[in-house]
Amino acid sequence: MSVSAYASSPFDHGRADVVLRSSDNVDFRVFRLFLSLSSPFFETLFDLPQPSEEKHGDAETKDGLPVIPVSEDSKTLEAVLRFCYPRTLIEKTISIKHFKDGVKMLEAAKKYSLDGAESAIRKTLFSTNNLEADPLRCFVVARQARMRDETILSAKYCLQTGLIPGWFEEIEMITATDLLDLLAYHEKCGKAAQQLQSSYSWIERHYKNRSAIPWIFGKASGRPCPCPRSDKIKLFGRKHLVWWEEFMEATFQTLKEKPCARTVRESVEKTITDVRSRDCRSCAPNIATVMHQFADLFAKKVEEVVAEVNSFVSSVEKMR
């Protein structure tokens, strides 16, 4: 006796010719033809003798249709079956509320060789939102599923978080070697970003002349402003402002832990607020404009040096 329920439309069709039963006991009345055309896995499965055609006493049928149990739960099965049906019957959309559900859908799409479903699930799972919110979880899933591009992309987003991650469920899905690779990459990127602090020649090369950045030297309005100057001479042979030096120091400090463009942007916003509160009539008025321009250069440089850290990419290449 079956206590299972039928899935919702169109997976409850009266003229369907087979029933797929999910692990949580939901029956999907489906058409073999749609599934076979979309998935070589189903094609092979349906080529096997069906329970109703064989005289197994224990083979289950429901309403005269053979019942094939599958290992996916109903939410996962519904998501991948959508991609087997014509667009006129059901939309090929993916909605993933919980990351875990997405992982299960991805596994199912791979198992059934549903390329369209797989790429749609990948896109949803590794959306910018998810990468920003949960880069490490994305990394673990990508690495485990041997997805090269998503692994590298997620590792880059991991640079926005601290070096040592906190515990989360999926962390147990990857090996210590894989995690170590990520940590080593993160650390190398941090060191690469630090190199930009040892010499400001990259700033000089970009601006060519100090008159292009008078605001760093306390001459935003043309005349010297009252803000204190640093004793250190690191840029165009002139003394720069202390607040600018503090901004650079603080940014490089954070870049050690989070070597990414976002660190620069966040640090810039904080400095804009700080400088405005100083109330210098020369520095304050244009601070947002000049700092945002400088942030573009600084962030681009950080991205450049981080992109040169290739050890991780090559270790991902090897994993294939």
Which residues are near Zn ion by CB under 5 A? 225, 227, 280, 282-283
Q: Tally the residues of the chain.
A: 320
Exposure letters 55-89 (e unless 16+ CB within 10 A, then b): eeeeebeeeebbbbebebbbbbbbbbbbbbbeeee
Tell me the residue type at 212.
A
Is the Cβ of residue 24 or residue 246 nearer to Zn ion in the bound state? Answer: 246
Smallest distance, Å, CB 267 to Zn ion? 19
> Is 116 exposed, middle or buried (CB count within 10 Å of its CB: 0-12, 13-18, 19+)?
middle
Smallest distance, Å, CB 246 to Zn ion? 13
Is the Cβ of residue 141 or residue 225 nearer to Zn ion in the bound state? Answer: 225
Smallest distance, Å, CB 206 to Zn ion? 22
Is the Cβ of residue 188 or residue 229 nearer to Zn ion in the bound state? Answer: 229
Cβ-Cβ contacts under 8 Å for 16 (sequence gap 6 or more): 29, 30, 31, 65
Smallest distance, Å, CB 293 to Zn ion? 17
Smallest distance, Å, CB 238 to Zn ion? 15
Q: How far apart are CA 23 and CA 21, in angstroms?
A: 7
Q: How far is CA 70 from CA 50, 111, 307, in A?
A: 14, 11, 44
Is the Cβ of residue 146 or residue 232 nearer to Zn ion in the bound state? Answer: 232
3 φ/ψ angles, rounded to the nearest 5 degrees:
-110, 15
Furthest-apart CA atoms within the chain: distance in Å: 97
Is the Cβ of residue 159 or residue 287 nearer to Zn ion in the bound state? Answer: 287
Smallest distance, Å, CB 243 to Zn ion? 8
Is the Cβ of residue 100 or residue 292 nearer to Zn ion in the bound state? Answer: 292
